[in-house]
Amino acid sequence: MSQESLLELWPPTWDYDFVYLPYSMKQRRSVSYACINFVSNQAAQLFYSNWEGRQLTVKCITKTLSVRPAGMQGVLLNIRHLQSRGIEDVHNNYHLPALFYGTSRLSFREVLGQVKRQSVLQ
């Protein structure tokens, strides 16, 4: 499943500000998990109650969803983590995280640039 397909399935009305479906360049496909940062615990609980254990079928493959809290919480920590892992070297925007302010999609590269400038100033 592509990240864009997930965004169609889970539009930003779910109260999240970050969605990332990591892509394996080596395997030339997305990996089997997604990272979502919810803006509140209530939004995360609502997502959990709606999606935990549900099945998704993509190209004749059915997967059961397992919703779990991440060890890393917060959009800024997720961006900094990806920055430390070389996300800037990803040339295809299709493989970058989706960022939102409300329901408006932001440019990941622009936000990453702002995060870099803040880090330099601190």
Q: Is the pTM of this model over 0.75?
A: yes
> 3-121 domain in CATH 3.30.70.330?
yes
For every residue of 77-116, which 3-state class applies, written as one string? HHHHHHHHCCHHHCCCHHHCCEEEECCEEECHHHHHHHHH
What's the pLDDT at 72? 87
| pLDDT tens for the 122 residues of the chain, in order | 788 888 999 988 879 999 999 876 676 767 788 999 999 999 999 999 999 999 988 888 898 999 999 888 999 999 999 999 888 888 888 889 999 998 899 999 999 998 888 766 54
What's the pLDDT at 64? 93
* Residue 26 · residue 46 · CB < 8 Å: no
Could you give the CA distance from residue 109 to residue 112 in angstroms, rounded to a whole number? 5
What's the pLDDT at 61? 85
Q: Which residues pair with 63 in a beta bridge?
A: 56
What's the pLDDT at 46? 94
